[in-house]
Structures are given as C-alpha cells and as structure tokens.
Amino acid sequence: MSAAATPPLSMDRRSLLRAAVGGLVLAVSGSGEVWAQGAKKYGAESMPGATVDAPLVFVSIAADGLVTIVAHRAEMGTGVRTSLPMVVADEMEALWEQVRVVQADADEARYGNQNVDGSRSVRHFLMPMRRVGAAMRQMLETAAAARWAVPVGEVRAEQHRVLHVPTGRSLGYGELSAAAAAVPVPQGSALRLKAPAQFRYIGKGRVRAVDLADIGQGKAVYGMDVRLPGMVYAVVARPPVLGGTLRQAQRDKALAVPGVLRLVELPALKGAPNFQPLGGIAVVGCTTWAAMQGRMALAAEWDDGPHAGYDSAEYRKQLESLVRAPAKALRSDGDAAAALQAAPANRKLAAEYYLPHLAHASMEPPVATAVVHPGRCEVWASIQNPQAGVASVAGVLGIKPEQVQLHVMLLGGGFGRKSKPDYVAEAVLVAREMPGTPVKLVWTRDDDIRHDYFHTVSVERLEAATDARGMPQAWLHRSAAPSITTLFGGKGPAAFEMGMSAINVPFAIPHVRIEGAEVDAHTRIGWFRSVSNIPHAFAVQSFIDELAHRAGTDPRRFALDLIGPRRKILPTALSDSFNYSESPEVYPVDMGRMRDVLEAATQGAGWGRKLPPGQGLGLAFAYSFLSYTAAVVHVAVDDKGAVTVHAVDIAIDCGPQVNPERIRAQLEGGVVMGLGLALVGEITFAQGRAVQSNFHDYEVLRHHASPRVIRTHLVNDDHGVPAGGVGEPPVPPIAPALCNAIFAATGKRIRALPIRSVA
C-alpha cells in the first residue's frame, strides 16, 4: 500500500496503523505528546499545521520485503530526503538496499507542516522518525513471536529479518508485514529506541544519498524539468519597482512574434507584498524562447509608484543616521548608557558595519507548472513550503485547499526564496485563462535577481567600554535594517530577527543594551540562509576582534575569555523570547559547546603559527539555529589588494550527527556561499530598480576564488542533547573571520561589505 493511497488523517495523535493487502503502513505524530490547553508550544508543535495534525511519517512494507519510506520534506541539496528515511531504516533494522524513498505531495492533513526552512527538518523530525522505525521493528518482532508461539523476548529484528535467537529460525520482513498490521502500535514506555551504540546508519556515513546517482547522471527531475503533453510556456513582464503598475505595452507586436500564443494580464500588487505576484503581463508561447522574445517585443512602460525614489546609497545614509541616535530598547541589562558615558576615552570603542541587500540566486530560478480543471488544480513546483503553495493556489482560484494537488519537485537550491509561492500563484493565474492546458511559468535569471525577496540591507553600530584588561564592561548594539515583517504590513524590528546574534549575545558583561530602529522597506525583504545572523554576527564578531587587538590580546584568547567558563544560559536570561521557536529549558545556550567549536577550528587551522608577510588568520564564532559554529580563515593579500583565501577551518556542534557526510557538505557549501557574499555579493538600487540583473554583475564566488582547502570539524556527536540546525549555521562566521584575517594580514579594517579589494 502506497502513502498516496492512505486516507486523510483521522486518528489518535500518537499513532495510526492501517492494514492493506500484503503490507503494513504506519504513521506516528511529530511529537507524540498532547499539549495542555493553552500551553506554550515549541518546536514542531509551534509550526502552522503541526498542532492539530502533527507531522506524519508513512512507511510501508510490501510482501516481497521492499520497504517504502515517504519523504515528506522537500529536497533542495541538504540531503533531508536521505537523512530522515535513513533514520527510520536504522531504527527498524531495514537493509538500505531494500529501501525505496518516495517524495510526498503537499498534504497538511496527512503530513502536517512541510515547510523546509529554518534548519528544522532533522531538528523537528529526528525523534518522530526514530519512533516510527522503532515501532515497526517491535511490531514485526511481535508478529514473529506470535507465529512461532514463543515469548517476544526471544526474538530480535536484525537486517531485514526477525530471528528466533534460541533456534536460529528467521522470517523476512515481507513474510511478516500482513501479520504485523494487526499488532497494536507500541507507545510510551513500551516503545524501545535503540541506544546510539546500536546504530547501523545514523552517524556512520554508510548510506548513499537517495538522489545521488540520478543527479550525477542528469536523470533527476527538478521543477524546471517537468514536461507534460500539450504544455505551453510563460514568462512575465513585471514592474521593475515594487508597487509599480503598467502604463502601456506593445501588445500587437508581442502577439506577432512567432510562437507567441496569448497575453495574460496579472493583477497589480495591492497592499503589503506578502506572497503576492508583482503584477504585469504574462506572455505565453509554445516555447520558453518564444515567450521571452514576445516579452521583449512588449516594450512595457511602467508607472513606478511610491518606491520610485529608492536609492541604496541614500538609504545607507538614512540607516547610518538612525544608528547614531537612540532607538527602541530590546534588551537592557544594567545601565550601558551611563557606563559608556563615564568611561574614559581610551577605554571606549565604537564602530559601524554595513551589509547590502543580497539575492538568493539559487541555481534553479523559480519555476512552477499548473493545469486548471473545473473545481480543481494540479501543480508541479520546486517549493520549500508546500502548504503556502496550496493556500496561494486555493486563494487565486477561490477553491478549497483539498481541491489543490501540489507535487513537490526536487529543488535546485532554495536558501529561503522558494518558501514564498508568488511564482506558483503566477503560474495558476495564467493557467486559469487556459483551462485544461498545462502552463509552465519560468523565471529567467534576470527575473530572479531583479525581483527577489532580498536579504535585508543593514547598518549595525556597536559601542563598548572596557576595563583595564580591555574586556568589555558595557556593550551597546544598535541595528537599523528593514524588517521581514514589512512583507505582512509590519514595521519591525521583530523579536525573531533581533534574536539572531544580537539580543542573545551570551557574554558576561554587566551593562548590555540592544536597540533596533524602525525602518521603512522599499523592496520585498525575505528570509535568506541564516537570516539576520548574517549582519549581526558580522558586526559582533568583527567588533570582538577589534576589541582584542585594541587590548593587545590574542583574538583566540580574548574570545575564550569573553565566552567565559562552561555554563548554560537560559535564552530568557538574555531577553531572547524567540530562541528559534524552541523551549529555553530544552535549548539553553551552552558556553561549553561554544568553547569546543572555537578550540576545534583554531586547532585545525594551526592558530598561532608564523605566517609570511601579507598573510593572516582570522576567527569568528556564532550561535545560530540552535547550533554552535566557529571558523578560521587563512588569507593572503597581495600588494594590489587582491585577496586569496588559502584555507578555511570550520567547526560545528549540532548535537546528534545523523548524516556526517551531508553535514560536511553543508559546511563546505556554507563556507563558499559566505565567502561569496562577503567578497562580491551586493544588490544596489537606483530609481527604485535593482541595478544588478545576472551573474555578470551579481557575482557568486568563482572557482578560482574559492578556498584551496576547506577543513570541516564535527564536534560532540551527542544524542544526549536535542538536534540543532545544519543548513544555515555555517554562513554567519565566515564574513567576520575573513575580514579579521585581512586585518591580521594588512592592518586594514573592513567594516562594509562586499570587500572586492583591500586596496
């Protein structure tokens, strides 16, 4: 029985067992717990859709022993389509060679929340997946014991079979699947999870990635690869300025282009951007090329609207002005203002740091295919948030979510961009005008760069007063950046943004004040890999290095002194109400783990060794998405100011290491992305328009500029602590470590990104 055939959820929240001819299907809730009415919700339970219908994991065993595991999380390069099914296979003692993984469609009733962002997949679903596998193992053991009429304590599941230990008899999983369907699901204390020492796959690196062969051979099907009979193609001419409207267009000329089939006008953006399409005209063609040529022939002219004057250079000046004046206090310990005022000039330091807008620029631009039938719609999309996609489609068509079938395709990268389903809505708007015809709506690279949900631009100001040793006794951090909440009509700064490496600085400083300024947004601001940790960690970690050098202390020693002794700090003690939606008691900030990653990265890099002139080592560390990272960058700067990155050492403590190979890959990718953002990443605006349009002027890190060596250090594989994130934590320490290394090599401070050249 396949997962697709399983009826919608109607069950006890802890578990569900359904029997089918020749097979066993099991689903277990995301947490296994029933929250008291009105109780604070954390983790998976705090996510939309997870409270009523917690995330479900479906597994089936066919009569021939083939185990099918449904991956309900989208795969975009993180390896989740391998890692979570691997956890089930390990706990149920299945042979990976006899496991098949299939991708789930969007279905909140069956799977609960499917939103793949926030480095949550393993964090939220490691234990539910383990419970699924363990329950299936025990049910198979119980079925075998009943068949042999022996005590269940005499049998043991092992490598896709159940053994009767005293006699050596065995039965395969396929032989037992139908009988096991009648066995009650073990719950609570009856459920026996493996001890970590018994793991075969978890943490071992012995499993080949599910998609690896198909990706390597070009057989993998991404959203861009969808092909349907009778399909047509569409691109959209969008207003170049947020909120702009169409003034006029050469419709006749566009329709005269060979291969152009029709034009579809899209409604103009109204109110807060949210996940709405931007409006404009869709050009539909028999090929993507024809549609693109038709769009050029439109020669659309626009009324630019209220954001026509947006200029990033002038906007930077506004942000700088804001951080030089008091703003809303978000954390206030002691009296930082009085301590700073009372400190002598030689014991005070102030610095400002600037980061520009950034574009996600995933290798696969947004794409969606839709076909509208009477009373229903079918969609194929590379999407991180399937439920948002379903809601968007239902809203566009005025139908119920259950009338939308959304197939989740393999994503060619996401970084948070593909959580916003505006491109899905565009495809449906066009398909609505062509009932029964599949419409693939494609964003070109230029569309992707110019019309992104951009990472926020930011100015961060830090001030400190120090003691005689140079250690900070007063700390002021003032941030000015347009908030993600502006997407939904808010102003910010939001607690979740300031809770990323700003409010929650865990240092033992008596006087701490964190402030955030309200700032208007003039473009769409969206979450981006590691979100506000990027500007905040860049500023904080650069400032720490400045304090260390001013104190005449080795930066490693200074950082360890600032981190302080091994101890655990409740996020609430740091005024952090966010804590990545997790319980502060379950996820305290652990300074021992922070020390460990710093020690691992510096030891791996050979910190303290003598380097030739023009070379330097820089370090930075960060707590983000419930994991601890530290990085050391080794650079050389020539006499023309060109920067060469020789090596990067990066360490992470993410708690239990489920799939070490994928963790290392995420660290390596995070290093490359972090360096690219720091060295060349920048979106600027003039007359309301994004200036950059493609990889020629919005650069990603080129091969020749990549580090010659990346060494990854996985620290504290500890199943005694809850899982942290992996996808996002590698990025925040890279830019400050790089800039600190440049200072060590040249004596020049970098306080504004991108670097491009030190000259």
Query: Per-residue pLDDT tens for 321-343?
Result: 999 999 999 999 999 999 999 99
Q: Check whether residue 585 and residue 650 sit in a common domain.
A: yes
Q: Check whether residue 525 and residue 422 sit in a common domain.
A: no
Closest CA to 519 of 529, 532, 533, 504: 532
What is the pLDDT at residue 38? 60
Cα three-residue angle 388-391-394, rounded to 5 degrees? 150
What is the pLDDT at residue 754? 98
Q: What is the pLDDT of residues 74-86, one digit of tens each?
A: 999 999 999 999 9
The answer to whether 579 and 571 have CB atoms below 8 angstroms apart is yes
Q: Which domain holds residue 266?
A: 223-305+366-442
CA dihedral 33, 39, 41, 44 (to 10 degrees): 20
The whole-number average pLDDT for the span 34-40 is 53
The whole-number average pLDDT for the span 544-569 is 98
Q: What is the pLDDT of residues 355-368, one digit of tens each?
A: 999 999 999 999 99
Quote the tokens at residue 461: 């100001």
Domain limit, last residue, from 214, 244, 271: 214
Angstrom distance (rounded) from CA 409 to CA 423: 14
Higher-pLDDT residue of 207, 500: 500
Residue 274 CB: number of other CB atoms within 10 A?
14
Residue 33 has pLDDT above 60, yes or no: no
Mean pLDDT (the chain, rounded): 93
Those residues with Cβ within 8 angstroms of residue 740's Cβ, 6 or more apart along the chain or in another chain: 541, 542, 545, 555, 618, 619, 620, 633
Q: What is the pLDDT of residues 370-410, one digit of tens each?
A: 999 999 999 999 999 999 999 999 999 999 999 999 999 99
Domain limit, last residue, from 412, 442, 472: 442
The tally of domains found in the chain comes to 3
CB-neighbour burial class of residue 124 (10 A; exposed 0-12, middle 13-18, buried 19+): buried
Residue 207 has pLDDT above 80, yes or no: yes
Q: Check whether residue 423 and residue 477 sit in a common domain.
A: no
What is the pLDDT at residue 383? 98
Angstrom distance (rounded) from CA 20 to CA 511: 64
Binned at pLDDT 50, 70 and 90, residue 49 comes out as low
Q: Check whether residue 10 and residue 72 sit in a common domain.
A: yes
Domain limit, last residue, from 164, 179, 214: 214
Backbone angles phi, psi at 59, to 5 degrees: -135, 135
Q: Check whether residue 247 and residue 144 sit in a common domain.
A: no
Angstrom distance (rounded) from CA 737 to CA 681: 16
What is the pLDDT at residue 205? 83
- Domain presence at residue 686: yes
DSSP letter for each residue of 737-756:
HHHHHHHHHHS----BS--S
Q: Check whether residue 404 and residue 541 sit in a common domain.
A: no
- Domain presence at residue 282: yes
| 0.85 exceeded by pTM | yes
Residue 56 has pLDDT above 60, yes or no: no
The whole-number average pLDDT for the span 591-615 is 98
Q: Check whether residue 378 and residue 459 sit in a common domain.
A: no
What is the pLDDT at residue 94? 97
The whole-number average pLDDT for the span 34-55 is 60
- Domain presence at residue 468: yes
Angstrom distance (rounded) from CA 319 to CA 737: 24
Per-residue exposure over 316-345, b if at least 16 CB sit within 10 Å of its own CB, e if not: beebeebbeeebeebbebeebbebbeebee
Binned at pLDDT 50, 70 and 90, residue 254 comes out as very high
Q: Check whether residue 351 and residue 416 sit in a common domain.
A: no
CATH code, domain with 557: 3.30.365.10
Q: Check whether residue 594 and residue 457 sit in a common domain.
A: yes
The DSSP bridge pattern shows strands 589-590 and 568-569 to be antiparallel
What is the pLDDT at residue 702? 94
Q: Check whether residue 230 and residue 199 sit in a common domain.
A: no
- Domain presence at residue 677: yes
Quote the tokens at residue 215: 């990706």
Unique residue bearing structure tokens 């995330």: 55
Using the 8-state DSSP alphabet, how is residue 415 labeled? T
Q: What is the pLDDT of residues 642-678, one digit of tens each?
A: 999 999 999 999 999 999 999 999 999 999 999 999 9
